Amino acid sequence: MSELFGVPMTALAGQLMLGIINGAFYAILSLGLAVVFGLLNVINFAHGAQYMLGALVAWALLNSWGISYWWSLLLAPMAVGAIGLVLEKFLIARVAYDHRYGMLVTYGLALIAQGLVRDHFGAAGLPYSVPEALRGGVDLGFVFAPYYRVWVVAASLTLCVLTYLCIEKTPLGANLRAATENGALAECFGINVKLLSTLTYGAAVALAAFAGVLAAPMYSVNPVMGADLIIVVFAVVVIGGMGSLSGAVVAGLGLGIAEGLTKTFYPPASNIVIFIIMAVVLTLRPAGLFGRDKG
């Protein structure tokens, strides 16, 4: 069968692959957003700017010091995550547990980061080449799969799984879940909730930066590369359930695929399909697909 509803199978497979790639980015970014909201009750609108900074640091490491892409996957998240630690310690912690001030502060941080990057590097995109080991691709017959895009999906999903296992299966994760459920009670049992909050925010920022490094060879590195993406990622988190890690990953992948399929069958709706799904989900289940209803 060469066509489905009048659409060539090669075109369908190509858009499906693109949807999976976008879904992998949505998953890893929404995971960090969900972790921050679950513990700090803050909607981190700076997440998109932190994603952009990860890509920018990778570009700077390569062009200023000749540090390769593979080292950047480690060093860029560490550098941007360290900035996140400082921000949480001296700024985010002061507005934690207050949605309004948290949103305003993190949105302001995003605008500051975008403005500073635009002033120093300009608004035009900065090119970052695909590492030599991942150039080329494989012809699967029904679609040509670039090695780099396959790597992006594999790396994103692997990190999502490792993060989930860390939170669900380790003593550190148990402390994090306890602090999320009842911070005051957790402190009574000797858990340093403030330190845990700082480390958690830094780790979530590092996740965003890691995604930025993955994105750098695919998209030009520019000040607003995360601005539009964060709105979509926020919708993904809402659909999955605010604070739900599994919901963030599953919804991210599912919505990326839904977006890709929509581009195939009805392209004009591809930019709004995620928000239509969000409206439907919130109407039927206000807590999200994997969220817990209060009360």
The pLDDT score that the predictor gives to residue 96 is 76
Percent of the chain's residues with pLDDT above 70: 95
With a cut of 70, say whether residue 56 has pLDDT above it.
yes
| Mean pLDDT, range 193-201, rounded to an integer | 89
| Mean pLDDT, range 225-253, rounded to an integer | 87
With a cut of 70, say whether residue 201 has pLDDT above it.
yes
Q: What is the mean pLDDT of the chain?
A: 87
Structural contact between residues 248 and 292, judged by C-beta atoms closer than 8 angstroms? no
With a cut of 90, say whether residue 180 has pLDDT above it.
no
Q: Who has greater pLDDT, 94 or 39?
A: 94
Tokens of 271: 């930019």
The pLDDT score that the predictor gives to residue 142 is 67
With a cut of 90, say whether residue 204 has pLDDT above it.
yes
With a cut of 50, say whether residue 254 has pLDDT above it.
yes
Please state, in angstroms and rounded to a whole number, the distance separating the CA atoms of residues 121 and 42.
30
- Interior angle at CA 90, CA 107 and CA 83, nearest 5: 70
The pLDDT score that the predictor gives to residue 246 is 84
Domains of the chain by residue range: 16-223
The pLDDT score that the predictor gives to residue 108 is 93
Please state, in angstroms and rounded to a whole number, the distance separating the CA atoms of residues 271 and 259.
8
Q: Is 220 helix (H, G, I), strand (E, B) or coil?
A: coil
| Mean pLDDT, range 137-150, rounded to an integer | 82
With a cut of 90, say whether residue 128 has pLDDT above it.
yes
Tokens of 60: 């700077």
With a cut of 50, say whether residue 1 has pLDDT above it.
no
Region of poorest pLDDT, from 1-10, 33-42, 229-238, 272-281: 1-10
With a cut of 60, say whether residue 294 has pLDDT above it.
no
Predicted structure pTM score: 0.92
Structural contact between residues 204 and 194, judged by C-beta atoms closer than 8 angstroms? no
With a cut of 90, say whether residue 52 has pLDDT above it.
yes
Please state, in angstroms and rounded to a whole number, the distance separating the CA atoms of residues 99 and 106.
11
The pLDDT score that the predictor gives to residue 6 is 57
Please state, in angstroms and rounded to a whole number, the distance separating the CA atoms of residues 147 and 193.
42
Please state, in angstroms and rounded to a whole number, the distance separating the CA atoms of residues 96 and 25.
26
Please name the amino acid found at residue 68. Answer: S
Residues 6+ away with beta carbon under 8 Å from 229: 25, 29, 48, 51
With a cut of 70, say whether residue 164 has pLDDT above it.
yes
Q: Who has greater pLDDT, 234 or 40?
A: 234
Region of poorest pLDDT, from 29-38, 100-109, 139-148, 207-216: 139-148
Please state, in angstroms and rounded to a whole number, the distance separating the CA atoms of residues 148 and 136.
8
DSSP β-ladder status, 137-139 and 3-4: unpaired
| Mean pLDDT, range 120-129, rounded to an integer | 88
| Mean pLDDT, range 233-254, rounded to an integer | 88
Q: Is 138 helix (H, G, I), strand (E, B) or coil?
A: strand
With a cut of 60, say whether residue 121 has pLDDT above it.
yes
The pLDDT score that the predictor gives to residue 59 is 96
Query: What H or E segment, with its residue span, contains residue 145?
Result: strand 144-146
| Mean pLDDT, range 178-196, rounded to an integer | 84
The pLDDT score that the predictor gives to residue 103 is 86
Please state, in angstroms and as integers, the Cα–Cα distance from residue 129 to each residue in 17, 99, 104, 146, 207, following that order. Answer: 21, 39, 35, 14, 21
